[in-house]
Amino acid sequence: MTALVDEEPYALRREEKALRLVSDLQGLSAWHRERCEGYARLERAQFPDAEAASTIESLPFVSVRLFKQFELRSIPKEDIFKTLYSSGTTGSPSRIFLDRESAALQSKILVRIMQHWIGRERLPMLICDHPGVIANRSSFSARGAGIQGLSFMGRAHTYALTDDMNLDWGALERFAEQYAGQRVLLFGFTFMVWQHVVRALEASGRRLSLPEGILVHSGGWKKLEAEAVTNEHFKDRVREVTGIARVHNFYGMVEQIGAIFVECERGRLHAPAYSDVLVRRPSDWSLSPHGEEGVVQLVSTLPRSYPGHSLLTEDRGVVTGEDDCPCGRAGKTFRIVGRLPKAEARGCSDTFTNARGGVQG
């Protein structure tokens, strides 16, 4: 490994990052090949020249859907420290297995990325959810994992909702009064923030005054898009009911938890030093040029307890540039367009499971 995990999130430019990233990813492919029989079988079946791959785009990748269908892990059962589950509402969730070392590494990187955006000071934190979502600390949903991960960035943790998903007015009023005029951190999943905080505040006719607040949110936009809610509209409505002007969306998934892609002030998602994003044409899985829409592939140097270092997602996206964002941060930038149609998503998975049973770990 080339110690990419020791780098600052947005300091490496393309040439240096590419050399170091491919070295780390080659090492991770070998690591998982030796420790996860399912991954090794997949490589042999779909990427017979994987060991000779010398570029990021030529390295093998795994369909994210396989984590819903198979138990893929590179650690023995007795070393499982925590199991994470994806937040999908249909079908089986993905299962991601972490040992203590992997959990610690991913928490460390998550904190380092978020400190870049909100600073090193632990801010009073308002969580836009209810406390029951993290009741089982050994088996988290994507929401619970996100809350636990981001909670390291805050203090005086306060939940905005009661267990029956209504606004906890007493908690909100105490939080706003105690930290009036101070920097505070708010976190929640996008639809939770929209439906249970923003719209609930609007329906009540009341406002929450947190003008120095920073809102960090993540999650699918599918439900909001159905209501014709754009990113800018979301930010405008947040500002109207809370006074918050600093809003950072981030993209990530439980299958690659830790290395997240945060939206800068110019509206671009940024790949940190530990990760990268590629976009592929669904017709033949060739690499799409910048500006062309395709299927998003994520690579990360963090997943070591499970073979999630190179994932073909079920999202469509566009690479918007590299080392050229007006915000001044180095690295690749992109935007997510939406989810793949069901048939196309199924095709992604079929690409890797044409020999049924050949990828079980």
Q: What are phi and psi of 111, to 5 degrees?
A: -65, -45
> What does the pLDDT read at residue 137?
53
- 318 in Cβ contact with 335 (< 8 Å): yes
Query: Per residue in 41-51, pLDDT tens?
Result: 999 999 999 99
Choice between 110 and 126, residue whose per-residue pLDDT is larger: 126
Phi-psi region of 91 (alpha: psi -120 to 50; beta: other; left: phi over 0): left
Q: In the chain, what percentage of residues exceed pLDDT 90?
A: 72
Note the pLDDT of residue 146. 77
CATH of the domain at 338: 2.30.38.10
Domain for residue 106, yes or no? no
Report the distance separating Cα 189 and Cα 346, nearest Å. 26
Q: Assess whether 136 and 228 both reside in one domain.
A: yes
Report if residue 150 sits inside a domain. Answer: yes
Residue 354 has pLDDT above 50, yes or no: no
pLDDT at 120 (0 to 100):
92
pLDDT of residue 224: 76
| DSSP bridge partners of 176 | none
Q: Where are the alpha helices (DSSP H) in 190-341?
A: 190-192, 199-204, 222-226, 231-242
How many residues comprise the chain? 361
Q: SS3 letters for 63-102?
A: ECCHHHHCCCCCCCHHHCCEEEECCCCCCCCCEEEECHHH
pLDDT 10s digits, 63-89:
999 999 999 999 999 999 999 888 654
Q: What is the mean pLDDT of the chain?
A: 88
Residue 143 lies in a domain: yes
Q: Answer whether residue 239 shows pLDDT above 50.
A: yes
Q: How far apart are CA 160 and CA 129, in angstroms?
A: 6
Count of helix runs (H) and strand runs (E) in the chain: 11, 15
Q: Tell me, rounded to whole angstroms, the distance of Cα 269 from its chain centroid.
A: 11
Tell me if 327 sits within 8 A of 313, measured CB to CB: no
Q: State mean pLDDT over 52-72.
A: 93
Instruction: Output phi, psi for 258, to 5 deg.
Output: 115, -60
Domain that holds residue 295: 4-79+265-352
**pLDDT value at 2 more than 70:** no
Domain membership of residue 88 (yes or no) is: no
Instruction: Give pLDDT, residue 268.
Output: 96
165 pLDDT band, cuts 50/70/90, is: very high
pLDDT, tens digit (0-9, with 9 covering 90-100), for 173-231: 999 999 999 999 999 999 899 999 999 999 999 999 999 999 999 987 777 777 778 88
**CA distance linking residue 24 with residue 26, whole number of Å:** 5
What is the per-residue pLDDT for 66?
95
Instruction: Provide the pLDDT confidence category of residue 142 given band limits of 50, 70 and 90.
Output: low
Residue type (1 letter), 82? K
Rounded to 5°, the CA angle 70-76-81 comes to: 90
How many domains, in total, are found in the chain? 2
Kindly state whether residue 241 falls inside one of the protein's structural domains.
yes
Pairing mode of beta strands 269-270, 275-280: unpaired
Same domain for 243 and 293, yes or no, is: no
Domain boundary among 251, 274, 300: 251
Residue 360 lies inside a defined structural domain of this protein: no
Query: Has residue 347 got a pLDDT over 50?
Result: no
pLDDT of residue 148: 79
Q: How far apart are CA 246 and CA 249, in angstroms?
A: 10
Q: Same domain for 156 and 39?
A: no
Task: Count CB neighbours of 71 within 10 A.
Answer: 13
Same domain flag for 181 and 64? no
Both tokens of 294, joined, read 């395709």
Give the residue from 190, 221, 251 where a domain finishes: 251
Q: How confident is the model at residue 274 (pLDDT cuts 50, 70, 90)?
A: very high
**pLDDT of 9 over the 90 cut:** yes
261-297 burial: b if 16+ Cβ within 10 Å, else e: bbbbeebbbbbbbbbbbbbbebeebebbeeeebbbbb
